[in-house]
Structure 1
Amino acid sequence: MPFDVLSCNAGSQVPFNTLSLPEGGDIFPVKPIEGLARARERIIARGKSRSLHVAIVGGGPSAMEIAGNVHQLAHEKNLLPPEITIVAGHAILPHAPERVRNLTARYLERRGISILTDTRVRKVRKESLLLDSGESLPADIIFLAIGVKPSPIFSKSGLPVGPDGGLRVNKYLQSIAEPNIFGGGDCIYFEPYPLDKVGVYAVRQNPVLLHNLMAAFAGTPFQEFHPGGKYLLIYNLGDGYGVFNKWSLTFGGRLSFRIKDYIDRRFMHTFQADEH
């Protein structure tokens, strides 16, 4: 398909090639998000008749949020209490401040959620995980929260990519090799310096990307993308509880969740069609 200007917004995906996955089974990556909706349905369907073993592979924010919200789901739907285990690898939230890690672990463990650190998964089976210790961990439902990588389409395209396989772009969010190709979000590698794979950068990039796409058509000057300063992190750990962190301010509780809920709803409202 020919194009004059191309905007690449392909997002990211869980790198399945790092694990050997079986055929079948209730195994769900954290992306795409549609998979989590299917996981919810399966937990509700299977959790009415017996207590499920739910395993989350990974130690990042997604793993923490899934664990807490599976606990909430079981409570809301009157399911038999599941046994939830996080297989975190070396540690949970390795890039977060120590107080964030401690608040998160304390809350989840109070909910009966087990956190295995210094433990890795050697193999994913249909209803269990083989750990590096040789132990087999029962797992009726398995979530894969092992990080994300850009879509492989860029590595296959012949365009310059970053170490993670993302489309390598300059300060204008423009391919360093093809001036009519632009990109934003998780699928790019920002050449000035690497960015975390968090939604806040995609949101900040959107107006710059739109401006530069229009400028490419019009032949007018481009805008530079400036990532901005420290971004706000709030983890939704279920049951109306959150952990808030920005700069040196860290706290946990219901206020954290209410702040996150307000921000998320306000953001989503900007995409709602006007009914009047």
Structure 2
Amino acid sequence: MQETLPAQNLVLIGAGHTNLHIVRMWREQPIPCVSVTLISAFNRATYSGMLPGTLAGLYEPREMEIDLDRLAAASGVRVVYEEAVGLDSAQQHVLLANRPPLRYDVAAIGIGSVPKIPDPLRQQPAVLSIKPMATFHHRLQERLAEVTQDGNETATVSVVIVGGGAAGVEVSFCLHEYLAQRLISAQLHLIERGETILGGSLPKTQQLAREELQRRGIVPHLQQRVADFDGRQLILENGRSLAADIIITATTAAPPPVLSGFDLAKADDGFLATRPTLQSTSAENVFVVGDTATFPANPVPKAGVYAVRQGPVLWENLRRSFQNQPLQEFHPQSSFLSLLATGDGKAIGQYHGRAFHSRWAWKWKDYLDRKFMKLHQVDAPLPEKAANTDSLPPNEASKG
């Protein structure tokens, strides 16, 4: 009996939370007559929820990483390590930076977002974007080595975090721990353009975070934006000057620049306009998930919790799409558990109208994060020929 070969190609663009759910499910329930290719710029996916804890020394760097070679090999998924720079929906091609186009029958785009960088901070060596998270820890170490060399090990390092939302506040807490553990004298500043940190959170949650910032000597600057930066001094709109050896941007989510090469309908915010079924509004065979998706009729914050919740819906809709069945709709929850690591074995959280700061909150967060990672980390040894197509000739790697 002749073997039935896959007739259709599913291409997953980006190794974010939602697409990783598809890779994991493929290991358990592959869709008949469909092959899967995962496109990722990195061979390890970094779980954003554990980056602050890793900074604080609560995790080893490897604990927040998912080895895509092992996961893909265990799931029977091919992985191409390349940057997707565009999508031609008419030809059904994913455009790659250094390889020929990759053809798809169905695609799922989950390439996330990037912090919106203030103009004065662009192309500055002192500025570290929180993304890509896969390289943040290494970039931070390199910059610290630069500013503490030449006999300046005992000098105070001035660090400015731009963005007072959840990411900026959590990084501030955990970076304080990171520097203290290395006996690096530092002064941290947190810049937020709004009236308060953690805008949109409960007033009690904001209060708990303010108290923690004060306890650590982290100085918040509210209702301020970056006006100028000369490489050493950062100027705020109110004219105040801050020494800035390191500037970390954890600002409002902006579309990755490569999205301009995707010929799909865009929402007003520049992200891809998406239907409740997670389909692009301009291409039924293209799904959009995570931060990359904006639902024009029902916008939701750019938060990882939505990407995680979209995983089962995307999986079901991919199956239905290949079987020409009606699709499900994604219904985002109106409220969700929020937990921010403070880096000292505690966490600040809010849930169902209540705010708290405690060790049990950290244990709760740690349990949830480790549970997520356990689903995706594969300990089995790699086969002699792994799913990684980097070893294949470009033409072979581009075949659908």
TM-score higher than 0.5: yes
Correspondence 1:32 to 2:132 = yes
Structure 2 CA distance, aligned partners of 1:98 and 1:180?
Answer: 43
Q: Which runs of 5+ in 2 are unaligned?
A: 1-100, 382-400
Aligned to 2:243: 138
| RMSD of aligned Cα (Å) | 2.0
Whole-angstrom distance in 1 between the partners of 2:264 and 2:372 = 33
Q: TM-score, normalised by structure 2?
A: 0.64
Q: Give the residue type in structure 1 aligned to 2:369.
A: D
> How many angstroms does 1:154 deviate by?
3.9
Aligned length in residues: 274
Equivalent position of 2:390 in the other structure: none
One-letter code aligned to 2:212: Y
Q: Is the 8 A contact 1:44 1:77 kept in 2?
A: no
Alignment partners' CA distance in 1, 2:228 and 2:138: 23
Equivalence for 1:195: 300
Worse overlay, 152-161 or 107-116? 152-161
* Corresponding residue of 1:74: 179
Identical columns (%): 32
Offset, 1:156: 4.5
CA shift, 1:23, in A, is 4.2
SS in 2 for 1:179: strand
User: Which of 1 and 2 has greater Rg?
Assistant: 2
Residues 115 and 130 from structure 1, CA distance in 2 versus in 1: closer, same or farther, beyond 3 angstroms?
same
When the two structures are superposed, what TM-score results if normalisation uses the length of structure 1?
0.91
Tell me the amino acid that sits aligned with residue 170 of structure 1: R
Which segment drifts farther, 232-241 or 147-156? 147-156
> Paired residue for 1:121?
226
Q: 5 Å matches for 1:1-276?
A: 1=101, 2-16=103-117, 18-21=118-121, 23-42=123-142, 45=145, 46=147, 48-79=153-184, 81-90=185-194, 91-275=196-380
Q: For the structure 1 residues 34 and 273, does the alpha-carbon distance in structure 2 shift closer, same or farther, using more than 3 Å as the test? A: closer
Deviations, residues 137-160 of structure 1 (Å, cap 9, x unaligned)? 101010112211232444453422
* Paired residues of 2:202 and 2:353 also in contact (CA < 8 A): no
Residue in 1 that maps onto 2:41? none
Shift of 1:34: 3.0
Alpha-carbon separation, structure 1, partners of 2:349 and 2:136: 24
- Shifted more, 233-242 versus 96-105: the winner is 233-242
Q: Distance in 2 between matches of 1:129 and 1:44?
A: 18
User: Could you tell which deviates more after superposition, 36-45 or 187-196?
Assistant: 36-45
Q: 1:189 deviation in Å?
A: 0.9
- In the alignment, is the contact (CA less than 8 A) between 2:197 and 2:222 conserved in 1? yes
Question: Aligned partner of 1:89: which letter?
Answer: R
Q: How far apart are the structure 1 equivalents of 2:141 and 2:319?
A: 42
Q: Deviations over 1:182-201 (max 9, x none)?
A: 11000011234001111111
Deviation string, structure 1 residues 215-257 (Cα, Å, up to 9, x no partner): 2222223222122341100111222221110111111122222
Cα displacement (A) at 1:36: 2.3
The answer to which of 129-138 and 46-55 deviates more is: 46-55
What is the CA–CA distance in structure 2 between the aligned matches of 1:153 and 1:74, rounded to whole Å?
A: 34
